[in-house]
Amino acid sequence: MASFDELQQALADLRQAALRAVDISAELRLKDPGARQEVARQWEETLGAFWHYIKQKGKETNQNLLAGISFPPRR
């Protein structure tokens, strides 16, 4: 059975991996302007699959998994 500790760890791992992917993306785009299209394609594929999974899981469980989530400005 899932626990809040397990969720917290999974989200921390996701956050760390996402930040690393952003850093790698920025480095690749700076190093080789020709890489921009491939970097964008990979992001589009990954984020699209992630978004689709969230929506699919919400339909399967009859829940809006994004309900209550907001993105306040970061300072």
**pLDDT-based confidence at 75, cuts 50/70/90?**
confident
**pLDDT at residue number 72:** 87
- Domain edges within the chain: 13-61
pLDDT, one tens digit per residue, over 2-54 is: 999 999 999 999 999 999 999 999 999 999 999 999 999 999 999 999 999 99
> φ and ψ at 68, to 5 degrees?
85, 0
Question: Mean pLDDT, to the nearest integer, of 47-71?
Answer: 96
Helix or strand or coil: residue 62?
Answer: coil
Q: How far is it, in rounded angstroms, from Cα 1 to Cα 4?
A: 10
Residue with tokens 């689709």: 52
> φ and ψ at 59, to 5 degrees?
-65, -40
**pLDDT at residue number 74:** 85
Q: Note the Cα 44 to chain centre separation in Å.
A: 11
